[in-house]
């Protein structure tokens, strides 16, 4: 499974990223932020990008609202960034939110949820749930259409998106039209063997990095049984919205992300699972210049637009 030549060229001559476990959390956050914010944004035009806060379960939650060009009202997508539930913020995956807003012609509400280890499970999904409810209740005030509400995320954010769809169904709303999950595992802890063994030493993300993030986030084995951490363990998967699951070929988390697809399909849920050859974990962040990332973004946006259109047809 060769790595995409452009990715290989990017890392040629670069020092190897040290094991996550070897770095103090705050230094890790600073390093991830520095490397992420150096990446260029995709060449898209938006009407506006604005920061604000919304009420959360433990205080205000910072969000960033991306407004596409046009007259609206627009669909609304709550987006949750990746980072193992430990790193990441509104800036580290700003490029993904921009690509999603422009490509899917949707308002994107990017959520700066609380991070572990200071705030362990279930702090992150609780903040994300507050954002989903806020988006549904306040869509009209931001020129959005609450009937066309989606959730999306990459890596840890994909896990959160999975969980929000289940929670919305179980709590009687708000109705979620679609879920986009870029390489977020369907179960925790990630099963050993398979891609976890094959890509034990990376590239970039190592199997032990995955284990360490899990240790920082989850306090007890019982929490791994919660669908907000392990969507495959939900009591039922019936009546969930359509899901788009994208995975990277060279990724220790690949198998754990892909395994959710058959579970959803068995429950009668529309699901599209696509593996991107040559890609590595986190590749969608390179949407400004990497063809594989651009393809994964375009596929997700096409999927969202199709699901939003289906809502209009049934309204």
Catalytic center residues: 155
Q: Can you give the three-state secondary structure of the chain, one letter per residue?
A: CCCCHHHHHHHCCCCCCCCHHHCCHHHHHHHHHHHHHCCCCCCCCCCEEEEEEEEEECEEEEEEEEECCCCCCEEEEEEECCCCCCCCCCCCCHHHHHHHHHHHCCEEEEECCCCCCCCCCCHHHHHHHHHHHHHHHHHHHHCEEEEEEEEEEECHHHHHHHHHHHHHHHCCCCCCCEEEEECCCCCCCCCCCCHHHHCCCCCCCCHHHHHHHHHHHCCCHHHHCCCCCCHHHCCCCCCCCCEEEEEEEECCCHHHHHCHHHHHHHCCCCEEEEEEEEEECCHHHHCCCCHHHHHHHHHHHHHHHHHHHHHHHHC
């Amino acid at each position: 499974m060769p790595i995409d030549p452009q990715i290989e060229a990017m890392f040629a001559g670069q020092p190897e990223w040290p094991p996550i476990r070897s770095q103090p959390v705050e230094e890790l956050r600073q390093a991830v932020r520095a490397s992420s914010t150096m990446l260029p944004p995709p060449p898209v035009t938006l009407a506006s990008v604005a920061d604000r806060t919304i009420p959360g379960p433990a205080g205000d939650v910072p969000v960033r609202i991306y407004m596409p060009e046009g007259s609206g009202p627009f669909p609304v997508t709550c987006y949750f960034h990746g980072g193992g539930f430990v790193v990441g913020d509104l800036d580290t995956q700003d490029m993904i939110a921009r690509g999603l807003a422009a490509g899917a012609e949707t308002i994107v509400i990017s959520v700066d949820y609380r991070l572990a280890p200071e705030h362990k499970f279930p702090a992150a999904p609780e903040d994300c749930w507050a954002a989903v409810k806020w988006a549904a209740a306040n869509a009209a005030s931001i020129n959005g259409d609450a009937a066309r509400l989606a959730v999306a995320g990459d890596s840890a954010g994909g896990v959160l998106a999975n969980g929000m769809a289940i929670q919305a169904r179980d709590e009687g709303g708000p109705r979620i039209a679609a879920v986009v999950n870029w390489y977020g595992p369907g179960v925790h802890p990630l099963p050993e063997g398979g891609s976890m063994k094959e890509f034990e030493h990376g590239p970039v993300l190592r199997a032990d990095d995955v284990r360490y993030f899990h240790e920082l986030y989850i306090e007890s084995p019982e929490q791994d049984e919660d669908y907000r951490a392990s969507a495959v363990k939900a009591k039922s998967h019936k009546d969930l919205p359509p899901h788009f699951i994208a995975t990277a070929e060279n990724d220790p988390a690949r198998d754990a992300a892909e395994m959710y697809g058959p579970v959803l399909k068995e429950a009668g849920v529309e699901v599209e699972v696509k593996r991107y050859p040559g890609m590595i974990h986190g590749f969608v962040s390179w949407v400004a210049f990497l063809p594989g990332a651009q393809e994964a973004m375009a596929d997700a946006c096409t999927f969202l637009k199709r699901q939003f259109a289906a809502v209009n047809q049934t309204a």
